[in-house]
Structures are given as structure tokens and as C-alpha cells.
């Protein structure tokens, strides 16, 4: 049987993507996507526009969000929520709290960048922001590229914005318990985003996945724009071991800025249960 072309992880201008929600949906349809979730960072304000456009174009669409979570010793992990009720008050209020720290964090990032000769970065990053509450490192990255310090956004993080680099500022995001609780309480499914991106030892990864499962998490991204073939094998293995549903998401942010285009990932390994078997 031909696999469904599902893409359950992408961003719009409501967070750090380059396309407006409706444009993103049109791009998905153009690329042959058959099931789409928009998963903006800590924000669900783009879902209505995307759902409306998807309905008009006959594309199956589910609500999504990517929640920033602090885990362990200043680690950040991302939890994707899928198929939830966007009106659920604890989710709406919880996300507002997660977003509320971003502006002061951005000012601290700018102060750190100033010390290494990148001046005016707060104002510079703001030029790229669609939603001021969602100012993120991606927006700083675009400004640093504009200044000519790097050719493309992907190269900026390794020099300036990743953990351990001059413009990195630690931040308390949501707890794993809260993020999973908000998603589950709203009737959605919680999925670990791009596990291959975390700098966790195997023991730390096992501890994180064990806690995630105990708290009600049900899925893991096996296919992600940031996974290579080895990651796919590793996370397929962990999906089997933990009994997780498997997800597939490009993490598309915009043309020219992403590892892989919308809907252009390979198929999931056939023995895994796709997360969309449990989605509306």
C-alpha cells in the first residue's frame, strides 16, 4: 500500500517560518502533501487561517504546536502536540506563559552578541519577526546573515547561537510534565520532536523518553528534516522499544532555509504504527 504523504511538523510566520499560514498550506498542496499539521513554536495563532485554507483546498489538516521544554541540566527539548482542541484553556494559557519570557531573553541575547561585535541585534532581529512575542534565535540568525557574518542561516548557529556560543542564553521553558499535560488535556497526542538534534547521551535519552512515556507521551519523530539515515534507524528502534507511534515531519521553515521541503521525506519503516492512525 502506498504510504500517506503526511507532514506533521512545519512553521509559519506566526513563529519563525517564512510563509504565512495560508501560503504554507498552498505550498503543501503543491508538494503533494495529503495530511498537514502546522506546528509553530509555543503558539497556535496560525491554526485557524491554515485550517480554513486547507478546507478550501481539500487538504486534510490537524492542529499542531511545537512546545519548548526545559529538561535536565539546561537542555531544551521540543514536544510536538497534534490533533488537540485549540480552545482548551490550560493549553492556551500555558503557551502564553511560555511565550512571555521570549522578549527579555531576546534582549539578553542581543547584549551578549553586542559584546562580540554584533551590534543592534535586538532591533535587527525584530525586522524579521512576524509575531513579536515569538522572537527566536532564527530571527537573530537572519539578521546575522544580513550583516554578512555568514552565508546562510544554517551556518549561523554553529558560530553564534548554539549552546556554548557567544549569543546563547539559557532559558526556562515549560516543564515536560506541563507540555504533555496541556496537549493531552486538550485531547491531542504528544510527540518527541527531532530526537536526533538533542545532545543527550544514550542514558539521558532513555531517561527523557522514559519520563515522556510515563507522563503520557505517545509518539516520536522517526522521520525529520534534521535526521540522517542513522538517526532514522536509531529512532525507529526506540519507537519499537518504547511502543511509540511514529511521526514524520520536515520541520520546514521556508524555501531556501530548510533541510528538506514540505512533504519530501522518505516513507516510515513499514512495521511502525504511524501517529496519523490516531488523528482525526
CA 276 – CA 247 distance, rounded (Å): 8
β partners of residue 65: 81
Instruction: Report, in Å, the least distance between residue 71 CB and Mn ion.
Output: 13
- Render the burial of 224-240: b for 16+ CB within 10 Å, e for the rest: bbbbeeebbebbbebbe
Q: Can residue 251 be called a binding residue for Mn ion (CB under 5 A)?
A: yes
Spatial distance between the Cα atoms of 68 and 89, rounded to a whole number of angstroms: 18
Does 178 participate in binding Mn ion (rule CB under 5 A)?
Answer: no
Q: Which of 7, 16, 40, 112 binds Mn ion (CB under 5 A)?
A: 16
Q: Which residue's CB is nearer to Mn ion, number 114 or number 261?
A: 261
Question: Which CB, 254 or 263, lies closer to ligand AMP?
Answer: 254
DSSP 19: S
Least distance between Mn ion and beta carbon 270 (Å): 26
Residue 40 binds to Mn ion (criterion: CB under 5 A): no
C-beta of 55: minimal distance to ligand AMP in Å? 27
DSSP string, 86-132: TT-HHHHHHHHHHHHTHHHHHHHHHHHHHHTT--SHHHHHHTT-SSG
Q: In the complex, what is the shortest distance from the CB of residue 1 to ligand AMP, in angstroms, rounded to a whole number?
A: 33
- Residue 137 near which of Mn ion, ligand AMP, none (CB within 5-8 Å, type-dependent): ligand AMP
Q: Which residues bind Mn ion (CB under 5 A)?
A: 16, 66, 78, 193, 251
Amino acid at each position: 500500500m502506498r504510504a500517506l504523504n503526511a507532514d506533521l511538523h512545519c512553521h509559519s510566520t506566526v513563529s519563525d517560518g517564512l510563509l504565512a499560514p495560508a501560503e504554507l498550506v498552498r505550498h503543501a498542496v503543491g508538494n503533494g502533501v495529503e495530511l498537514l499539521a502546522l506546528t509553530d513554536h509555543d503558539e497556535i495563532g496560525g491554526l485557524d487561517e491554515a485550517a480554513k485554507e486547507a478546507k478550501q483546498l481539500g487538504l486534510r489538516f490537524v492542529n499542531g504546536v511545537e512546545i519548548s521544554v526545559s529538561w535536565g541540566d539546561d537542555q531544551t527539548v521540543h514536544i510536538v502536540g497534534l490533533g488537540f482542541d485549540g480552545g482548551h484553556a490550560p493549553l492556551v494559557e500555558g503557551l502564553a506563559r511560555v511565550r512571555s519570557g521570549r522578549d527579555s531573553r531576546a534582549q539578553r541575547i542581543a547584549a551578549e552578541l553586542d559584546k562580540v561585535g554584533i551590534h543592534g541585534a535586538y532591533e535587527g532581529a525584530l525586522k524579521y519577526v512576524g509575531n513579536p512575542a515569538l522572537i527566536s534565535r532564527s530571527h537573530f540568525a537572519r539578521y546575522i546573515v544580513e550583516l554578512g557574518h555568514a552565508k546562510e542561516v544554517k551556518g549561523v548557529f554553529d558560530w553564534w547561537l548554539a549552546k556554548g556560543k557567544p549569543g546563547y542564553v539559557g532559558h526556562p521553558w515549560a516543564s515536560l510534565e506541563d507540555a504533555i499535560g496541556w496537549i493531552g488535556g486538550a485531547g491531542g497526542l504528544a510527540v518527541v520532536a527531532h530526537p536526533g538534534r538533542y545532545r543527550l547521551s544514550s542514558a539521558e535519552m532513555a531517561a527523557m523518553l522514559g519520563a515522556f512515556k510515563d507522563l503520557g507521551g505517545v509518539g516520536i519523530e522517526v522521520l525529520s528534516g534534521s535526521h540522517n539515515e542513522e538517526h532514522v534507524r536509531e529512532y525507529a528502534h526506540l519507537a519499537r522499544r518504547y511502543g511509540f507511534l511514529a511521526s514524520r515531519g520536515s520541520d520546514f521553515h521556508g524555501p531556501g532555509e530548510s533541510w528538506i521541503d514540505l512533504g519530501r521525506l522518505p516513507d516510515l519503516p513499514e512495521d511502525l504504527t504511524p501517529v496519523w492512525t490516531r488523528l482525526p
